[in-house]
Amino acid sequence: MTLAADKNTDIVVPDGHVKLTIDGAEVVAPKGELLIRTAERLGTVIPRFCDHPLLEPAGACRQCLVEVEMGGRPMPKPQASCTLTVADGMVVKTQLTSPVADKAQAGVMELLLINHPLDCPICDKGGECPLQNQALKHGRTDSRFTETKRTFPKPIAVSSQVLLDRERCVLCQRCTRFSEQIAGDPFIELLERGSQQQIGTAQDQPFQSYFSGNTIQICPVGALTSAAYRFRSRPFDLVSTPSVCEHCAGGCATRTDWRRGKITRRLAAEDPQVNEEWICDKGRFAFTYTTEPDRLLRPRVRDAKTGELRDASWTEALRVAAEGLTKAKEAGGVGVLPGGRLTVEDAYAYSKFARVALGTNDIDYRNRPSSAEELAFLGSTVSGTNPEHGVTYGDIEKAPAVLLIALEPEEEAPGVFLRLRKGNRKHGNRVFHMGQWTTPAVVKTNGTLIPCLPGEEADMLGRLPSEVDELLRRPDAVILLGERAAEITGLFSTARELAAQTGAKLAWIPRRAGELAAIEAGALPTMLPGGRPVTDSVARAEVELAWGLETGTLPTAEGRDLAGILGAVANGRLAGLVIGSVDVHDLPNPELAERALDSGVFVVSLDLRESSVTRRADVVLPVAAISEKAGTYINWEGRRRPFPVVITGTNRLPDCRVLDTLAVEMDADLFTQTPAAAMADLGRLGHHTGNRIPAPSVDAGRPNRPGQRHAVLATWHQLIDHGSMQDGEPHLAGTARPAVARLSVDTAKAFGVADAALITVGTDRGSVTLLAEFADLPEGVVWLPSNSTPATVRTSLGAGHGALVTVTTAANGAAS
Amino acid sequence: MTEMLNDVFGQDTRTKAQQLIARYPQSRSALLPMLHLVQSVEGFVSQDGIRFCAEQLELTTAEVSAVATFYTMYKRKPCGEHLVSVCTNTLCAALGGDAIYARLKEELGSDGKPLGHEQTSEDGKVTLEHAECLAACDLGPVLQVNYEYFDNQDPDTASDLVAKLRAGERPAPTRGAPLTDFKQAELQLAGFFEGRDLDVAGPSAAKETLRGNTVAQDRGWSAPVMPDGVLPPVPEKKK
Ligand code: SF4
Ligand code: SF4
Ligand code: FES
Ligand code: FES
CATH number at residue B39: 1.10.10
Determine whether the shortest distance from the Cβ of B85 to ligand 4 is under 6 A: no
User: Which ligand number lies closest to the CA of residue A156?
Assistant: 1
CB contact under 8 A, B62 and A187: yes
The answer to whether residue B196 sits within a structural domain is no
A599-621 pLDDT, tens digit per residue, is 999 999 999 999 999 999 999 99
The answer to whether residue B54 sits within a structural domain is yes
Chain A, nearest residue to B76 by Cα? A192
Interface of B with A (CB under 8 A): 47, 50-51, 59-66, 69-70
From chain B, pick out residues whose CB is under 8 angstroms from the CB of A204: 47, 51, 61
pLDDT in the model for residue B4: 57
pLDDT in the model for residue A2: 44
Minimum distance, in Å, between the CA of residue B235 and any CA atom of chain A: 19
Chain B, nearest residue to A158 by Cα? B62
CB contact under 8 A, B70 and A202: no
| A202 CA → ligand 3 middle, Å | 26
Determine whether the shortest distance from the Cβ of A224 to ligand 1 is under 6 A: yes
User: Is the Cβ–Cβ distance between A348 and A656 less than 8 Å?
Assistant: yes
User: Is the Cβ–Cβ distance between A528 and A539 less than 8 Å?
Assistant: yes
CB contact under 8 A, A193 and B51: no
pLDDT in the model for residue B225: 80
pLDDT in the model for residue A688: 93
Angstrom distance (rounded) from CA A154 to CA A148: 17
Nearest CA to ligand 1 atom 4: A175
The answer to whether residue B150 sits within a structural domain is yes
The answer to whether residue B210 sits within a structural domain is no
Torsion of CA A505, A54, A202, A740, to 10 degrees: 20
- Cβ neighbours of residue A621 under 8 Å, at least 6 residues apart? A299, A317, A318, A321, A604, A605, A606, A607, A658, A662
Please check whether residues B87 and B173 belong to one and the same domain: yes
Q: Which atom of ligand 4 is nearest to the CA of B139?
A: 3
Q: Which of A322, A382, A667 lies closest to A521, judged by CA? A: A382
Structural element, H or E, at residue A198: strand A198-200
pLDDT in the model for residue A6: 47
| B113 CA → ligand 4 middle, Å | 27
Angstrom distance (rounded) from CA A785 to CA A738: 10
Q: Which of A576, A565, A580 lies closest to A613, judged by CA? A: A580
Angstrom distance (rounded) from CA A130 to CA A47: 9
Please check whether residues B88 and B168 belong to one and the same domain: yes
Q: How far from A402 is each of A66, A383, A457, A481, A675, CA to CA, in Å?
A: 43, 22, 16, 11, 37
Q: For the domain that residue B111 is a member of, what is the CATH number?
A: 3.40.30.10
| Percent over 70 (pLDDT), chain A | 98
Cβ atoms within 10 Å, residue B185:
23
- Of the CA atoms within 13 Å of residue A769, those in its CB half-sphere come to 12
Residues in chain A: 816
A49: left (phi over 0), alpha (psi -120 to 50) or beta: alpha
Disruptive mutation site among B60, B67, B71, B76 for chain A (greatest number of A CBs within 10 Å): B60
Q: Which residues pair with A450 in a beta bridge?
A: A434
CB contact under 8 A, B64 and A202: yes
Chain A, nearest residue to B74 by Cα? A192
Determine whether the shortest distance from the Cβ of A173 to ligand 1 is under 6 A: yes
Chain A, nearest residue to B69 by Cα? A192
Determine whether the shortest distance from the Cβ of B143 to ligand 4 is under 6 A: no
The yes-or-no verdict on residue A8 having pLDDT over 60 is no
**B227 pLDDT band (50/70/90 cuts)?**
confident
Please check whether residues B119 and B45 belong to one and the same domain: no
The answer to whether residue B111 sits within a structural domain is yes
pLDDT in the model for residue B3: 53
The yes-or-no verdict on residue B226 having pLDDT over 80 is no
| B30 CA → ligand 1 middle, Å | 28
The answer to whether residue B77 sits within a structural domain is no
Please check whether residues B100 and B154 belong to one and the same domain: yes
Please check whether residues B90 and B158 belong to one and the same domain: yes
Please check whether residues B58 and B86 belong to one and the same domain: no
Please check whether residues B52 and B12 belong to one and the same domain: yes
**Chains A, B: CB pairs < 8 Å:** 41
Pocket test for ligand 2, best of A247, A265, A721 (most atoms within 8 A of CB): A247
**A768 pLDDT band (50/70/90 cuts)?**
very high
Q: Name which residue leads in pLDDT, B170 or B204.
A: B170
Determine whether the shortest distance from the Cβ of A169 to ligand 1 is under 6 A: yes
The yes-or-no verdict on residue A1 having pLDDT over 60 is no
CB contact under 8 A, A190 and B51: no
Domain count, chain B: 2
Q: Which of A662, A692, A414, A385 lies closest to A515, judged by CA? A: A385
pTM for this predicted structure: 0.93
B127-170 pLDDT, tens digit per residue, is 999 999 999 999 989 999 999 999 999 999 999 999 999 999 99
Please check whether residues B58 and B92 belong to one and the same domain: no
> Based on the number of CB atoms within 10 Å of its own CB, is A60 exposed (0-12), middle (13-18) or buried (19 or more)?
buried
Angstrom distance (rounded) from CA A142 to CA B193: 57
Determine whether the shortest distance from the Cβ of B84 to ligand 4 is under 6 A: no
Angstrom distance (rounded) from CA B174 to CA B207: 11
User: Which ligand number lies closest to the CA of residue B96?
Assistant: 4
Mark which of B44, B68, B92 sits at the end of a domain. B68
The answer to whether residue B24 sits within a structural domain is yes
Residues A310-320 have a mean pLDDT of: 97
The yes-or-no verdict on residue A459 having pLDDT over 50 is yes
Please check whether residues B48 and B96 belong to one and the same domain: no
Please check whether residues B37 and B119 belong to one and the same domain: no
**B79 pLDDT band (50/70/90 cuts)?**
very high
pLDDT in the model for residue B238: 58
The yes-or-no verdict on residue B183 having pLDDT over 60 is yes
Angstrom distance (rounded) from CA B178 to CA B187: 15
Nearest CA to ligand 1 atom 6: A169
> Mapping DSSP to helix (H, G, I), strand (E, B) and coil, where does residue A547 land?
coil
pLDDT in the model for residue A5: 45
ipTM at complex level? 0.88
Q: Which atom of ligand 2 is nearest to the CA of A250?
A: 3
Please check whether residues B57 and B115 belong to one and the same domain: no
Q: Which of A525, A202, A157 lies closest to A372, judged by CA? A: A525
Residues A146-175 have a mean pLDDT of: 95
Mark which of B129, B147, B180 sits at the end of a domain. B180
User: Which ligand number lies closest to the CA of residue A279?
Assistant: 2
| B100 CA → ligand 4 middle, Å | 13
Cβ atoms within 10 Å, residue A88:
13
Please check whether residues B37 and B98 belong to one and the same domain: no
Mark which of B180, B205, B229 sits at the end of a domain. B180
> Mapping DSSP to helix (H, G, I), strand (E, B) and coil, where does residue A77 land?
coil
pLDDT in the model for residue B177: 87
The answer to whether residue B186 sits within a structural domain is no
Chain A, nearest residue to B51 by Cα? A204
pLDDT in the model for residue B176: 85
Angstrom distance (rounded) from CA B64 to CA B46: 11
User: Is the Cβ–Cβ distance between A535 and A557 less than 8 Å?
Assistant: yes
Residues A245-264 have a mean pLDDT of: 97
**Distance in Å from the first CA to the final CA of chain B:** 24
Q: Which atom of ligand 4 is nearest to the CA of B91?
A: 1
Residue range(s) defining the domain that contains residue B41: 2-68
Residues B12-40 have a mean pLDDT of: 96
From chain B, pick out residues whose CB is under 8 angstroms from the CB of A205: 60-62
Nearest CA to ligand 1 atom 7: A169
Write the DSSP assignment of B77-132 as a string of letters: S---SEEEEEE-SHHHIIIIIHHHHHHHHHHH-BTTB---TTEE-TTSSEEEEEES
pLDDT in the model for residue A3: 47
Angstrom distance (rounded) from CA A277 to CA A269: 6
